[in-house]
Amino acid sequence: MSTAATAETQPREEPTNQTRFVDLALRARTFGIVGVLGLVVLVTTSIQSRFLSSNDVQFILSGAAIYAVMAVGEAMVIVTRNVDLSVGSVAGLSAFVCAGLFHELPGIPTVAVFAIGALLGGGCGLITGLLSAICRIPSLVVTLAMLWIVRSVDVLLVGGAQVTAGQVPRSFLLIFYDTIPGIGVPDIAVGAAVLAVAVYFYMSSFRSGRDLYAIGSDPDAARLAGIPIAKRITTAFVMSGALAGIAGVLYASQIGTIDSTAATGYELQVIASVVIGGVAIFGGSGNVIGAALGALLLGTITSALYTLGVNQNWDEAFQGLLIILAITLDRGIQAQLASALRRRRVRLGA
């Protein structure tokens, strides 16, 4: 009896332990970023005490907020097992068009400019979403093509022209630098945080949001469950494009002078933020708060390296290393989860 009892109870313990490991690892992927962020700040401050000056902190938070806004939309797409490589070019187009509106339409409200940026980006996202979800063209191919198309349109539109800081209202240029009185936290950083929490709540509490995870976890099972896959994926791309458009307006507020090269290369930083923030590149897991924290971590690392006088090329090397570590960890978590599920099926079958 004792031997039979041991054989009977042993399979029950192993899957439980492995499942707990997977749950712990998934949570650590998000909240562990805070620990890494604290370590970066601690090491940098111990070498250069001026790193924590109020101006530096405000600049880091404001700069990271622009990436975080795009990362939230990108995370929604990656969760569905897709990717949007066009966010940088969409942001650049939005930056030039929307900044130019202040010159072409004097007196236009800033809120209207942000709305136009969101509509412009959302339109680009709708095109990529329809081609990916309905025409079944791989999102990597579609968004890579869209990246070059939008950038080419930007170059043809802009040519050698520029929108200079003198052509936009001073109040618009101050958006990037405005802070909450008394605590000194940038307004756009607070806005990015509220956005991340709101989208997190939507994806975790509403059926249409949870559907994105189901699609990324197992598209075939999601289809059998009656989930409107094409509609959900298209919506994710529209959101990604709209948020990239809004980020482009924020970029224009930061830079002031905009030309056809605006936001070049931003797509790589955004995808890096999402992956480092715990959103599995293979889809199905992660959350947008982690993606926003990933943007903050990369922004902090960039600023830390600059403060320490390290060559800027090392910044890209660190980002690449973090991406490799994040994807390797994802593979390890998936392997543990698959093993746990196999052992559980064996136990239930027995």
Instruction: Choose between 14 and 127: higher pLDDT.
Output: 127
Q: What is the residue extent of each domain of the chain?
A: 62-292
Burial class (CB in 10 A: 0-12, 13-18, 19+), 304: buried
* pLDDT value of residue 25: 59
Its pTM stands at 0.86
Task: Pinpoint the alpha helices (H) of 218-312.
Answer: 219-224, 229-255, 266-276, 288-307
Q: Which two tokens stand for residue 62?
A: 């404001």
Q: What is the pLDDT of residues 17-47, one digit of tens each?
A: 544 555 565 566 666 788 888 888 898 898 8
d(CA 279, CA 271) in angstroms, rounded, equals 10
Q: Which residues pair with 258 in a beta bridge?
A: 163
What's the token pair of residue 297?
A: 């971590």
Contacts of 67 (CB under 8 A, 6+ apart): 247, 266, 269, 270, 273, 295, 298, 299
| Mean residue pLDDT across the chain | 85
Q: What's the mean pLDDT in 46-56? A: 82
Among 236, 265, 257, which residue's Cα sits nearest to residue 87?
265
pLDDT tens across 112-123, in order? 999 999 999 999
d(CA 76, CA 288): 7
Decide which of 169 and 347 is more confident: 169
Q: How far apart are CA 113 and CA 100, in angstroms?
A: 10
At a CB cut-off of 8 Å and minimum separation 6, what does 298 contact? 64, 67, 269, 272, 273, 276, 319, 322
Could you give the CA distance from residue 30 to residue 8 in angstroms, rounded to a whole number?
Answer: 36
